[in-house]
Amino acid sequence: MTGAIDTSKIRNFCIIAHIDHGKSTLADRLLEYTNTIDKRLLKQQTLDSMELERERGITIKLKAVRMEYSVAGAAYELNLIDTPGHVDFSYEVSRSLAACEGAVLVVDATQGIQAQTISNVHKALEAGLVIIPVINKIDLANANVAGTVDDLVTTFGFARADILAISAKTGEGVRELLAQVVRKIPSPGVTSPQSTALRALVFDTFYDDYRGVAALVKVADGTLSKDKLRMMATGALLTPEELGIFKPQRQPVESLGGGEVGYVMTGLKDIHAVKVGDTLVLAAGTAKALPGYKDVKPFVFLSIYPIDNNLFGQLRDALGKLALSDASLAFEPESNTALGFGFRCGFLGLLHADIVCQRLEREYNLELVSTVPSVEYRVLLTDGSTLSVRSPASMPERTRISSISEPWVLVSIVSPAKYVGAVIQLCEQRRGVQQKMEYPSPDRVIFAYELPLSELIHNFFDELKSLSSGFASLDYELLDFRPTDAIKLDVLVHGESVDPLSCIVQRSKADYFGRTLLQKLKDVIPRQQFQISLQAVVGGKVIAREDIPALRKNVLAKMSGGHRERKDKLLEAQTPRLRRGSRAASLSGNP
Q: How far apart are CA 376 and CA 341, in angstroms?
A: 21
Alpha carbons 408 and 69: distance in angstroms, whole number: 47
Partners of residue 230 on adjacent β-strands: 237, 281
CB 441 within 8 A of CB 150: yes
Alpha-carbon span 58 to 310, nearest angstrom: 34
CA 82 to chain centre: 16
How deeply is 458 buried, as exposed, middle or buried, from its count of CB atoms within 10 A (0-12, 13-18, 19+)? middle
CA dist 321 and 146 (Å) reads: 47
**Proportion of the chain in helix, strand, coil states, percent, rounded to 5:** 30, 35, 35
* Cβ proximity of 113 and 107 under 8 Å: yes
Q: For residues 27 and 14, give the distance between their C-alpha atoms in angstroms, rounded to a whole number.
A: 10
C-beta separation of 301 from 391 below 8 A: yes
Beta bridge partners of residue 80, listed in sequence order = 13, 65
Give the amino acid at 455: E
Instruction: Decide: helix, strand or coil at residue 159.
Output: coil
Distance (Å, rounded) from C-alpha 17 to C-alpha 24?
10
Contact between 379 and 399 under an 8 Å Cβ cutoff? The reply is no
Return the bridge partners of 535, or none.
Answer: 492, 545
If we measure between CA atoms, which residue out of 295, 298, 394, 408 comes closest to residue 346?
298
Strands of 485-565, DSSP E: 486-493, 496-497, 503-506, 532-538, 541-548
> Rounded CA gap, 586 and 64, in Å?
56
Q: Is 11 left (phi over 0), alpha (psi -120 to 50) or beta?
A: beta
Residues found in the chain: 591
Q: How many CB atoms lie within 10 A of CB 313?
A: 10
What gap in Å lies between CA 199 and CA 100, rounded to an integer? 16
- Bridge partners of residue 533, in order along the sequence: 547
Instruction: Please report, for residues 91, 108, 123, 400, the alpha-carbon distance to residue 415 in angstroms, rounded to integers and kept in the order given.
Output: 24, 15, 22, 44
Which residues line the annotated binding site for GTP? 20-25, 136-139
Q: What is the DSSP letter of 114?
A: -
- DSSP lists the bridge partners of residue 82 as 15, 63
Report the C-alpha gap between 244 and 255 in whole angstroms. 8
